[in-house]
Chain A
Amino acid sequence: MFFRLGAVNAWRNLARSILAVVSMAVAAAFLTYTISLSRGYTREAYASFRQMLGGEIIVYAQKVQGELPKESSVWSFERPNENPFTDLQVFHPEIYRQGYLESSNTTIIDEDTQNSILAENGVDGVSPVYRLPAFTILTEQYRYSSDIRARDLSRESDVNSPKSLIYSGRWFEETDDGKAVAVVSRLQELPPGVKAPEPGSKILLEIPKIKKDQYGQIYVDYHDTISKEITIIGNLVAPTREFAWQGDIDTQTEILYWWTNEIQLPLGTWQAIWQEVSEGLVDYPISQLILQVSDLTYLEDIVLNLVNRYPESSFVSVPNQANMAMERQLIEKFLAVPQAMVQASEQKATQQGMAMDLRVPMMGLVLLNAALLVAANMLIMINERKREMAILKSVGAKRVDITIMALTEALILAVVGAGIGFIVFRIPGALNQMTNHQGVWTILKSVFEDLIQVLSATAAVSLLFGLIPAVKLAGMSVMNVLRSE
């Protein structure tokens, strides 16, 4: 009954209700816009990560699980075999600890699967990751780990090549393919006093041989190695983000970088090394892919689609992987930032290249504006509903009943407004998803998730701001109201 009275009241003063609905619609539209933006990324987002990794989505053949299972009987606790052919050890070092969960034995991504992934909606390119363990020899006694990674120059473009990250020297040209040349990071984890090799210098690499055991399993024989002399032709530097903190006097900043000992080689050179270390007997096990996606607006939706389609493998967007790496401080070094600030910032990894993300405060302000209008609307409503409240109380309505009636009115205005705002802004987004060949289920799921978020936020705000006027109305004295009428 009180819900119905609230609904009727919203309808009775249509002009005022329309005003409140429009303001809520604007707020909901902003909210929808913000949520939709957070689903995708701008063209330049996480650029250095994408350039270093060569694309927008990482595919690990193995299923990477980070959560404890609900039913222990379904899962086995095991330590996966060492897999030096992927970036798992870079981004998921925990996988090599005892007790980490692995649900799938898939370790190879075959050509059929690669072609199948390439045919998926939104995927523009598929590149296998070629990676090998290696060591740079400094002295006879000292060597340090520096894995080698192949770059397929034929697949590179501005957005997925580290060319623009070159600090000194140069990036590869097509004529370098097959030559013993390499590009390394200027910032490497090295012994004290040792500098990263500069362009023009030569380094000696020690590369373990790859063999098959009696069961046909590939393993790395660290006792049987080959040596290669490589000429460094370029140093690169990959900035990750700018870290700001409040110093004693003013705000301090430090630009953070990706510190890596990895050695980049042209694919032809890398393949020649593979032939040598595997003695031509072992095919390279492709267990990681990098996917190229040209439209980043719906990157996470593309990932979601792939996760549903290939449940045995792991898919993660480069921005998500980068955020994870930054939050867990896997790849950066803090030189100037006080340790306390670093710890406090663990959950605050921000998007590189975006100095200040104003979407959330803007959304908050617009929602606040709409909420204040709801509150003003409710305060006006109190005057109009006083007599009705007195009648209801005289026939036995309790304060909570009156509050429900008033809040129902506020809630209806908020939900109708939010619904209109959502439809106006999100339907074009859904059409855009369709033209980007997103699956129907993916689109529906993302629209539904956004709708729940928008409705929850607007409903919560309107209830919060409508509560005080509603309680005030419910607390009025019947006789005071009837006497003044």
Chain B
Amino acid sequence: MSLSDRPILETINLNKAFYLGEAVYAVNNVNIQVMPGEIAIIVGPSGSGKSTLLSLLGGLDRPISGDILINDQSIVKLNEDQLALMRRKNIGYVFQFFNLIPHLSALENVELPMSIASMSRKEARERARYLLDEVGLTPRAHHRPDQLSGGEQQRVAIARSLANRPAVVLADEPTGNLDSKTRDMVIDLFCRFNKTERQTFVLITHDTSLTQYAHRVITMKDGRINTIEVQNP
């Protein structure tokens, strides 16, 4: 198997439980693989463990057992600061509620991960401008989040997630809070970056109509993997 055939993201017997009087498994013995350049969509009803799985993949939460490999490197035994460095390099995150820094402009929000990664100010600004242009927000670059619509904020968040050219972008219900027109625009962006930059995406959604855009559709129920379908979008 050549290097490009290795999964960029893989979980091995992954478990996460919350203790509410008794152990409730939000993620139960999950084994998935995501190949480089894929769009993987995780679908399932509320409470099926999708968001918990995504937070584990992004190193924002810790499993009770099992392993997570990003580019064949295990991340479960990394400490807080090593995880931060791993995220800086390998993970882009898009939240349902955008989570932009409210007192920074759109441009500065996109620059943020690059500044944290010690990229030069000039280089960071150039890439931030390029990404905002790609998501169609050049005219809104100097607006703060409260001056942008929901769709515009989500496009800023997508641009921010791509800033450091991460191995994987994880998106938690990226269209859950958007109207249908804006939803289509955001999905179009994911597809475009997937095609032009071979960017790998892992998306969580309730919206099964989005699965048509995915290379891999993972269905979850009660914390377990129900089905995994590989397809050509």
Contact B115 A1 (CB under 8 A): yes
In the bound assembly, the distance between CA atoms of A394 and B60 in angstroms comes to 7
In the bound assembly, the distance between CA atoms of A400 and B82 in angstroms comes to 12
Total of A-B residue pairs, C-beta within 8 Å? 63
Interface residue A309 (Cβ < 8 Å from any Cβ of B): no
Contact A478 B160 (CB under 8 A): no
Contact B87 A396 (CB under 8 A): yes
Inside 8 A of A401's CB, which chain B residues have their CB? 116
Contact A395 B116 (CB under 8 A): yes
Chain B proximity of A40: nearest CB distance (Å): 47
Closest A residue to B52 using CB positions: A479
Q: Decide: A479 near B55, CB < 8 A? Known: A394-B99, A399-B80.
A: yes
Inside 8 A of B103's CB, which chain A residues have their CB? 8, 12
Inside 8 A of A8's CB, which chain B residues have their CB? 103
In the bound assembly, the distance between CA atoms of A391 and B138 in angstroms comes to 23
Closest A residue to B80 using CB positions: A399
Interface residue A477 (Cβ < 8 Å from any Cβ of B): yes
Interface residue A359 (Cβ < 8 Å from any Cβ of B): no
Interface residue B78 (Cβ < 8 Å from any Cβ of A): no
Interface residue B220 (Cβ < 8 Å from any Cβ of A): no
Chain B proximity of A148: nearest CB distance (Å): 77
Q: Mark A233-269, 1 if CB is under 8 A from B, else 0.
A: 0000000000000000000000000000000000000
In the bound assembly, the distance between CA atoms of A393 and B95 in angstroms comes to 13
By size class, the interface of chain B is 20 to 34
Contact B61 A395 (CB under 8 A): no
Chain B proximity of A367: nearest CB distance (Å): 31
Inside 8 A of B164's CB, which chain A residues have their CB? 396
Contact of A398 among B81, B100, B101, B115 (CB under 8 A): B81
Q: Decide: A395 near B160, CB < 8 A? Known: A479-B61, A482-B95.
A: yes
In the bound assembly, the distance between CA atoms of A397 and B86 in angstroms comes to 10
Interface residues of B in 114-137 (CB under 8 A from A): 115-117
Interface residue B201 (Cβ < 8 Å from any Cβ of A): no
In the bound assembly, the distance between CA atoms of A1 and B117 in angstroms comes to 11
Contact B93 A394 (CB under 8 A): yes
Inside 8 A of B101's CB, which chain A residues have their CB? 5, 388, 391-392
Inside 8 A of A400's CB, which chain B residues have their CB? 81
Inside 8 A of B81's CB, which chain A residues have their CB? 398-400
Interface residue B88 (Cβ < 8 Å from any Cβ of A): yes
Interface residue A39 (Cβ < 8 Å from any Cβ of B): no
Interface residue A92 (Cβ < 8 Å from any Cβ of B): no
Closest B residue to A393 using CB positions: B84
Chain A proximity of B222: nearest CB distance (Å): 19
Most chain B CB atoms below 10 A, which of A388, A396, A475: A396
Interface residue A387 (Cβ < 8 Å from any Cβ of B): yes
Closest B residue to A481 using CB positions: B60
Q: Mark A360-403, 1 if CB is under 8 A from B, else 0.
A: 00000000000000000000000000011011111111111100
Contact A394 B87 (CB under 8 A): yes
Interface residues of B in 28-80 (CB under 8 A from A): 55, 58, 60-61, 80
Closest A residue to B82 using CB positions: A398
Contact A395 B80 (CB under 8 A): no
Contact of B61 among A388, A398, A477 (CB under 8 A): A477
Contact B61 A397 (CB under 8 A): no
Inside 8 A of B112's CB, which chain A residues have their CB? 1, 392, 395
Chain B proximity of A438: nearest CB distance (Å): 46
Inside 8 A of B185's CB, which chain A residues have their CB? none
Q: Decide: A397 near B84, CB < 8 A? Known: A391-B101, A482-B95.
A: yes
In the bound assembly, the distance between CA atoms of A12 and B146 in angstroms comes to 15
Chain B proximity of A391: nearest CB distance (Å): 5
Interface residues of B in 81-106 (CB under 8 A from A): 81, 84-85, 87-89, 93, 95, 99-101, 103
In the bound assembly, the distance between CA atoms of A387 and B113 in angstroms comes to 16
Chain B proximity of A95: nearest CB distance (Å): 59
Closest B residue to A474 using CB positions: B80
Contact of A1 among B55, B61, B95, B116 (CB under 8 A): B116
Contact A396 B60 (CB under 8 A): no
In the bound assembly, the distance between CA atoms of A391 and B100 in angstroms comes to 7
Chain B proximity of A386: nearest CB distance (Å): 12
Inside 8 A of B55's CB, which chain A residues have their CB? 478-479
Inside 8 A of A477's CB, which chain B residues have their CB? 60-61
Contact A395 B93 (CB under 8 A): yes
Contact of B116 among A12, A388, A392, A482 (CB under 8 A): A392
Q: List 24 A-B residue pairs with CB atoms under 8 Å apart, sorted by A's residue number.
A: A1-B116, A12-B103, A390-B99, A391-B100, A393-B84, A393-B87, A395-B87, A395-B88, A395-B93, A395-B112, A395-B160, A396-B85, A396-B87, A396-B88, A398-B80, A398-B81, A398-B84, A398-B85, A399-B80, A399-B84, A400-B81, A401-B116, A478-B60, A478-B61
Chain B interfacial positions (CB closer than 8 Å to A): 55, 58, 60-61, 80-81, 84-85, 87-89, 93, 95, 99-101, 103, 112-113, 115-117, 160, 164
Give 18 new A-B contacts, CB below 8 A, not counting A1-B115, A390-B99, A482-B60. Answer: A1-B112, A392-B112, A393-B60, A394-B58, A395-B93, A396-B84, A396-B85, A396-B113, A396-B164, A398-B80, A398-B84, A399-B81, A399-B84, A401-B116, A478-B60, A478-B61, A479-B61, A482-B99
